[in-house]
Amino acid sequence: MMNTTPATIGFLYPGHAAEDDYPRMGALVNPPAQVHLIHTHFQKDAHTVEALSEMGSVARLEEGAHALAGAPIESVLWTSTSASFVLGLDGIRQQIDTLEKLLCVPASTTAMAFARAVTAIDARRVAIAATYPEDVARLFRDFLGHFDIEVVHLASRGIVTAAEVGRLDKTAVIELAVANNHAHADTLLIPDTALHSAAWLPELEQAIGKPVLTANQVSVWEALRLCGKLRKQTGLGTLFETQP
């Protein structure tokens, strides 16, 4: 029998950009989830491999986990896609292991959530609409390759800072999706947690006529999945309409 009690889920979020997506989605899921979000620190807001590696380092995650300790969470996500996949699979395993050991709950990262979400909706070929510079976007494509996910289209907006990404409005986000709706892709991936999307998920899918997976969407989905409280529902995109 599926657990129908409300979930209490934790997120470590670097800096400030689109963190309001998390309580918004927490309120929209059925039943509403209680969200505990901690802002983690970093040296530089930049979509570069060097800056992202520091942002997602064990020391930064440990700092965030200590701040989250004591909250009654049932799962936890490191919610930076790029400050996860740039470290490779070994780095991601280390991030997850660090959080699980310190917080004693199931943990994951947004990058891993993307891989699992693509599988959950039975997609085989994907298009990527990345806000990152091209070299970082290519690393996301390479990461997905470990899971036999074929990338048929890769686009990068070349935006350097998360702060700038967080200022993109609904029109800009939908235009980004439409511009990268590749005919041979089963789904479109928009991988930056600095990008707002929670309020526009149905409209994004309507605009391109196929599933859209966004970073903040898959992060909440993964947190609910990990604690066994993911329920099928409408209004949050195809991913949430898929039977867990």
> What's the mean pLDDT in 81-92?
97
Q: What pLDDT shows up at residue 192? A: 94
> What's the mean pLDDT in 100-107?
98
Q: What pLDDT shows up at residue 244? A: 83
| Tally of residues, the chain | 244
Q: Is the pLDDT of residue 2 over 90?
A: no
Q: What pLDDT shows up at residue 3? A: 55
Averaged pLDDT of the chain: 95
Query: Domain 8-112+217-233 maps to which CATH number in 3.90.870.20, 3.40.50.12500, 2.60.120.200, 3.90.650.10?
Result: 3.40.50.12500
| Token output for 227 | 């604690």
8-112+217-233 matches 120-214 in fold: yes
Q: Is the pLDDT of residue 103 over 70?
A: yes
**Global confidence as pTM:** 0.96
pLDDT for 147-191, tens place per residue?
A: 999 999 999 999 989 899 999 999 999 999 999 999 999 999 999
Q: Where are the domains of the chain?
A: 8-112+217-233, 120-214
The strand pairing partners of 40, in sequence order, are 14
Residue with tokens 């959080």: 99
* Number of continuous H segments (helices) and E segments (strands) in the chain: 12, 8
pLDDT for 110-153, tens place per residue?
A: 999 999 999 999 999 999 999 999 999 999 999 999 999 999 99
Q: What pLDDT shows up at residue 58? A: 97
| Token output for 184 | 């041979």
Look up the CATH architecture of domain 120-214. Answer: 3-Layer(aba) Sandwich (3.40)
CA dihedral sign, ordered 34, 24, 180, 92? negative
Closest CA to 17 of 133, 159, 167: 167
Q: Taking the mean position of all CA atoms in its chain, how far away is CA 227?
A: 17
Q: Where residue 243 falls among pLDDT bands split at 50, 70, 90?
A: confident
Query: What's 119-134 look like in SS3?
Result: HHCCCCEEEEEECCCH
Q: What pLDDT shows up at residue 1? A: 46
Distance CA 219, CA 242 (A): 16
pLDDT for 15-72, tens place per residue?
A: 999 999 999 999 999 999 999 999 999 999 889 999 999 999 999 999 999 999 999 9
